[in-house]
């Protein structure tokens, strides 16, 4: 087995999707947003890796992504994100020699970004793409003893994890990969920069208005109903 890479996407429950966006989007809009982002992330991953896997505790999520031709893993028991990923990683290691983990809310990811990370992965034991808030929006590794450290400032926690294991690390710094979707301002960024994505198409169908802002947030996004 050589250079076989599987990608894992952990996905929370649809009805729990993006509650921080509730002042801007309705519950069904947030669910449809997550579905659109999943389509974009999966489509890009499928172009660059050997297999895409989704792990979730939500049967609705698993039923939905099966139609997108990915493998599914039903999360066992009540655990946190790192616990769920540990379950998926243990299963995936039987079939691959590199694992790439991405969240479901980075719709600006493209095949070229993944290929760049895979190229870096030929030189480093771990390659990590930070989010704009100090989190982790993609992490590639080939060492089985590494544990994921998703949570507050996980970018730095993952660097510490690799350092503690004496593993080499490469940082893939990309505006597009740094853009996850958690706030109304993030929606505006996707509308501006997400050309050709399902997510941009969906957001443009909603009654949202964007304007440039000179305050603490660069963009202001409001409903216009």
Q: What is the pLDDT of residues 10-22, one digit of tens each?
A: 999 998 889 999 9
Predicted confidence at residue 225, as pLDDT, reads 74
* In a shared domain, residues 76 and 174: yes
pLDDT tens by residue, 95-147? 999 999 999 999 999 999 999 999 999 999 999 999 998 999 999 999 889 99
* In a shared domain, residues 63 and 130: yes
Number of domains in the chain: 2
* In a shared domain, residues 70 and 160: yes
pLDDT mean over 41-48 = 98
Residue 82 burial by Cβ neighbours in a 10 Å radius (0-12, 13-18, 19+): middle
Is the per-residue pLDDT at 214 higher than 70? no
Name the DSSP class of 76: P
* In a shared domain, residues 45 and 131: yes
* In a shared domain, residues 66 and 25: yes
* In a shared domain, residues 214 and 115: no
Is the per-residue pLDDT at 34 higher than 80? yes
Predicted confidence at residue 165, as pLDDT, reads 96
Cα distance between residue 45 and residue 8, in whole Å = 10
Which position has the higher pLDDT, 77 or 43? 43
CB distance 104 to 41 below 8 Å: yes
* In a shared domain, residues 143 and 197: no
* In a shared domain, residues 152 and 74: yes
Q: Using 50, 70 and 90 to split pLDDT, how confident is the model at 27?
A: very high
**How big is the chain, counted in residues?**
225
* In a shared domain, residues 192 and 162: no
* In a shared domain, residues 173 and 188: no
pLDDT tens by residue, 71-97? 999 999 888 999 999 999 999 999 999
Q: Using 50, 70 and 90 to split pLDDT, how confident is the model at 222?
A: confident
pLDDT tens by residue, 141-199? 998 899 999 999 999 999 999 999 999 999 999 999 999 999 999 999 999 999 999 99
| CATH code of the domain containing 93 | 3.90.550.10
List Cβ neighbours of 214 (8 Å cut-off, separation of 6 or more). Answer: none
pLDDT mean over 195-215 = 91
Instruction: List the domain range (segments joined by +) for residue 67.
Output: 5-178
pLDDT mean over 61-75 = 95
pTM of the model: 0.95
Domain boundary at 163, 178, 193, which? Answer: 178
End-to-end CA distance of the chain: 55
Predicted confidence at residue 143, as pLDDT, reads 87
* In a shared domain, residues 170 and 191: no
Helix (H) / strand (E) containing 74: strand 71-74
Is the per-residue pLDDT at 215 higher than 80? no
* In a shared domain, residues 191 and 173: no
């Amino acid at each position: 087995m050589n250079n076989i890479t599987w990608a894992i996407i952990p996905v929370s429950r649809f009805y729990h999707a993006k509650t921080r966006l509730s002042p801007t989007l309705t519950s069904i809009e947030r669910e449809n947003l997550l579905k659109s982002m999943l389509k974009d992330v999966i489509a890009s991953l499928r172009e660059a890796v050997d297999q895409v896997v989704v792990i979730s505790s939500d049967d609705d999520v698993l039923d939905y992504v099966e139609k997108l031709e990915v493998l599914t893993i039903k999360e066992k028991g009540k655990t946190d994100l790192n616990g769920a990923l540990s379950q998926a990683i243990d299963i995936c290691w039987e079939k691959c020699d590199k694992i790439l983990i991405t969240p479901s809310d980075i719709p600006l990811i493209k095949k070229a970004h993944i290929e760049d990370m895979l190229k870096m992965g030929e030189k480093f034991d771990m390659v990590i793409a930070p989010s704009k808030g100090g989190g982790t929006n993609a992490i590639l590794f080939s060492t089985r003893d590494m544990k994921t450290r998703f949570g507050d400032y996980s970018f730095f926690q993952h660097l510490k994890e690799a350092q503690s294991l004496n593993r080499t690390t490469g940082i893939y710094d990309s505006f597009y990969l740094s853009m996850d979707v958690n706030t109304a301002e993030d929606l505006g960024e996707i509308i501006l920069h997400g050309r050709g994505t399902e997510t941009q198409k969906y957001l443009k169908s909603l009654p949202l208005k964007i304007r440039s802002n000179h305050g603490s947030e660069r963009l202001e996004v409001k409903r216009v109903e």
